Amino acid sequence: MSQPALKERQIPASAGLSRGLLLLMAFASGATVANLYYNQPLLADIGRSFGVGPDAAGLISTCTQIGYAIGMFLFVPLGDIRERRGLVSILLALVSLSLVGVATAQNLTWIYFASLAVGLTTVVPQIMVPMAASLAEPEQQGKAVGTVMSGLLLGILFTRTVSGLIGGTWGWRVMYWIAAGAMLALLALLRAKLPANRPQATMGYGTLLASMGSLIRRYAVLRESALIGASNFAAFSIFWTALSFYLEGEPYHYSSRVAGLFGLIGAAGAFGAPIVGRLADRWKKETIVGALVALNLLSFLLFGLLGVYLAALIAGVVLLDLGVQGTQVANMTRIYALDPPSRSRLNTVQMVSTFLGGAIGSSLGSYCWRHWGWSGVCWAGGGALLVGLLAWLAGRLRRQENS
């Protein structure tokens, strides 16, 4: 199927993206992505409320993640054909209602469907990222993407702490009522502060979804970027799935509370993302991607060879979070340049691939730990990253042949 014809609109030249607006978009991304993770520290409390065990309660988190994947596929591409500020407003209103649904759940089936709805409508961060790129000046797009991605990662990192504190003090339902109110407040704020952001293409919704397949076939860089994103996030998930098991045993014997503090070390990746974005504005993006994939491999060498030393383990965590986050920023910056009117769909392909890799990595991490222990985890993570490195090398050879 050929690439659908795009009907271009004349759009006023961007006045640039102010620092205040960029920080607001980063904050909004972190605040909304938090909706996906409020339940994780509260699953035991929710399970006790309904008289069910860990397996049944754990499905609440699964429903949320499934909803998020579906929402990315169904709603994020709409950013290419709908005015983005209005789309963000609608999604924030819907996610607020979904959070109220969780807060008022009377049985397990109810909370499953409400959690699915929360995930389905918590896709505002994936609309914010291409929106920031479209509002920024061309030489500032990498910085814009990196800053918004930093907000998203910080939201993920700190949500569990906030949720555990509020839910543990006043109950899990209070946490969800607060979250619903926060989304309404954010809706009002963004409605007042975000500029209108008109799409650059007009097409029907069915054609829009079908065109993502055409984009994949058309752009080799998109295929390369998606594969690297999937392999990186697979390695990331392999490590974090197995880390708590490793820390509980020899040689550390840490409690789960201490193990959870390792997540805060990942903030280094969030703060490093804007730096990578600035480098992507100045240097060759594919070179940065290759260097960061190599950095990820170095982190797994540290885990495998020196993981019994706390300093090496911490250093590896910093390198891994920085490498994964930085690679994502650099890759998104370069795929957005492929076809500006299709940025939301390009983002959808990249992020769906990334989260699929993460889902595979989570399963692989627990499997490798059960069967081969920490060495198996390190080999699996390193192997996943080698797939990404091979994809990058193949792309590099292709570009040299075409130059």
pLDDT tens for the chain, 403 residues: list them.
334 433 433 333 344 588 899 999 999 999 999 998 888 778 778 888 999 877 788 788 878 888 888 899 899 999 888 888 999 999 999 999 999 999 999 999 999 999 999 999 999 999 998 888 888 887 788 888 888 888 887 887 778 678 878 887 898 999 999 999 999 999 999 999 998 877 766 778 888 888 999 999 999 999 999 999 999 988 988 887 788 778 878 898 886 556 656 767 766 666 666 677 677 667 788 889 999 999 999 999 999 999 999 999 999 988 998 888 889 888 988 998 899 888 889 989 998 898 788 878 877 887 888 889 999 999 999 999 999 999 999 999 998 888 7
Look up the pTM and report it: 0.78
Before 195, cis peptide (omega within 30)? no
Residue ranges per domain, the chain? 19-199, 210-402
37, 161 Cβ separation under 8 angstroms: no
Does the fold of domain 210-402 match that of domain 19-199? yes
Q: Which fold has domain 19-199?
A: Growth Hormone; Chain: A; (1.20.1250)
- Distance in angstroms (rounded) separating the CA atoms of residues 101 and 107: 11
| Residue 245 confidence (pLDDT) | 77
pLDDT tens by residue, 251-260: 988 865 566 5
Q: Which fold has domain 210-402?
A: Growth Hormone; Chain: A; (1.20.1250)
